[in-house]
């Protein structure tokens, strides 16, 4: 489960952008597009099946800030500890 901080960034879509490419740009994980869709459900009232795969240009999206797990220094090489 992804924990969000409650903070958001705003992203204004460009022509041809998709949920997965935006998720990759912000989280380096295309699978996080589900979080983006959930947080922007208000933009597309109705069933989830009606969400467009390719987003319209100039659409303001809320990008949730997610909490990052603390760094395990034991996994770092000795010269970076």
Amino acid 44: pLDDT:
84
* Lookup: tokens for 28: 């380096």
| pTM summary value | 0.76
Are 65 and 5 within 8 A, CB to CB? yes
Amino acid 29: pLDDT:
93
Amino acid 68: pLDDT:
76
* Lookup: tokens for 61: 């999206």
Amino acid 1: pLDDT:
55
10-25: per-residue pLDDT in tens? 999 999 999 999 999 9
Distance CA 34, CA 41 (A): 10
Q: For residue 63, report the phi and psi dihedrals to the nearest 5 degrees.
A: -105, 110
Are 40 and 12 within 8 A, CB to CB? no
26-56: per-residue pLDDT in tens? 999 999 999 999 999 888 877 656 788 899 9
In total, the chain counts a number of residues equal to 81
């Amino acid at each position: 489960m992804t924990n969000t901080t409650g903070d958001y960034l705003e992203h204004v879509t460009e022509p041809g952008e998709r949920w997965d490419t935006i998720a990759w740009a912000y989280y380096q994980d295309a699978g996080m597009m589900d979080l983006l869709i959930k947080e922007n459900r208000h933009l597309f009232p109705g069933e989830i099946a009606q969400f467009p795969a390719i987003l319209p240009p100039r659409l303001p999206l809320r990008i949730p800030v997610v909490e990052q797990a603390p760094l395990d220094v034991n996994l770092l090489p000795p010269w970076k500890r």
